[in-house]
Structure 1
Amino acid sequence: MDRGRDVQSPPAQGGAAFLADAMLARLARWLRTLGCDTLLEPQRPDRELVAIAACEDRVLLTRDRHLVAFLRPAKVFIPASDVPLEQLAEVVAHCALPAPTELFTRCLVCNAPLRAATAEEAAAHVPPTVQGSPDPVRRCPGCGRVYWQGSHTRRMREALWRALPEWAP
């Protein structure tokens, strides 16, 4: 079984949904940054992960070769790298994911699609220096986290462009 290759299925096209195991939690967050629907179920046993991936037509992302060999998930990808941003580049290339039109549209914690924050939510949760900014403020309907464009998102964008230079503006 080759690492870094889809073991049993053809590459998923853009819009693929993913399920990452506990070993790939950081990869899951980077995929969410790109707007990819990426579940992370670190407490679930391997059999349940495979069942969820099959039931929801998700690509299982794992580095657990034993899981792949014995449970044979229908759609699986084993990143070769240990480095999360290199893993992200592998997934993007393998699944032929298109460059997103916008980043930070999913909650990095719970995976829910973000919605625009109300003016009251923004005023209550973002620093005063951000409140007059034209950049969007978003809120997660799942866990309630609030997201805005700040130095953290600038650093994340820079890291993404280094990992995926073909997507850099």
Structure 2
Amino acid sequence: MADAMLGRLARWLRVLGFDTVYDEALDDPVLVRIADADGRVLLTRDRHLLRDLRPLRAHEVRQDDPMAQLVDLVHALQLAPPAGLFTRCLVCNTELPAPLPEEELPALLPFPRAQVPGPVRRCPTCGRLYWHGSHARRMRAALDRALPGWGTAG
């Protein structure tokens, strides 16, 4: 669970397939209650939250750069490389289902199917569409620079 200051880190964790709750509207006491009740590690940069609310499991994020935050977290929590990338919605954290059937794509895509490489997935919760375009290649490359070998998962 990531606090309001760690939205970009939460997205990177979701890219890696980690179930990451992030809602910038939640107050600190609510964050701690949810994290404790669900057995989650609360990720925060807020030392006061850690000192005053004392979550059961927490990690203080000290870096400013989201990729440096990710590397530190992977090492601190001894996270294993994922079996695959892009298995969760980056917006709402829902697990993405199997790719959509080809016959559904023309009505959903903003441009011709020929311009969309590979399979297309749709988040069942928020409806966002995902495919492996140039943005995914850039994200994989960034992961490989920060965590060698992780950008080639799945």
The TM-score with structure 2 as length reference comes to 0.90
Residue 60 of structure 1 aligns with an amino acid whose one-letter code is L
Residue 143 of structure 1 aligns with an amino acid whose one-letter code is C
Larger relative contact order, structure 1 or 2 (CA cutoff 8 Å, min sep 6)? 1
Q: Tell me how far apart the structure 2 counterparts of residues 125 and 143 of structure 1 sit (CA, whole Å).
A: 14
Residue 40 of structure 2 aligns with an amino acid whose one-letter code is R
Aligned to 1:136: 119
Aligned to 2:35: 53
Bigger CA drift: 109-118 or 26-35?
109-118
Match of 1:40, SS?
Answer: coil
Match of 2:130, SS?
Answer: strand
Q: Tell me how far apart the structure 2 counterparts of residues 69 and 118 of structure 1 sit (CA, whole Å).
A: 50
Task: Calculate the aligned-residue CA RMSD, in Å.
Answer: 1.5
Matched, 1:164 2:147: yes
The TM-score with structure 1 as length reference comes to 0.83
Per the TM alignment, residue 68 of structure 1 is displaced from its structure 2 partner at its CA by: 0.3
Per the TM alignment, residue 168 of structure 1 is displaced from its structure 2 partner at its CA by: 5.1
Pairs within 5 Å for 1:10-159: 19-116=1-98, 117-126=100-109, 127-128=111-112, 129-130=114-115, 133=117, 135-159=118-142
Residue 33 of structure 1 aligns with an amino acid whose one-letter code is V
Per the TM alignment, residue 124 of structure 1 is displaced from its structure 2 partner at its CA by: 2.7
Structure 2 stretches lacking a partner, 5+ long: none
Number of residue-to-residue matches in the alignment: 149
Distance 1:44 1:27, change over 3 A: same
Per the TM alignment, residue 79 of structure 1 is displaced from its structure 2 partner at its CA by: 1.6
Task: Give identity over the alignment, percent.
Answer: 54
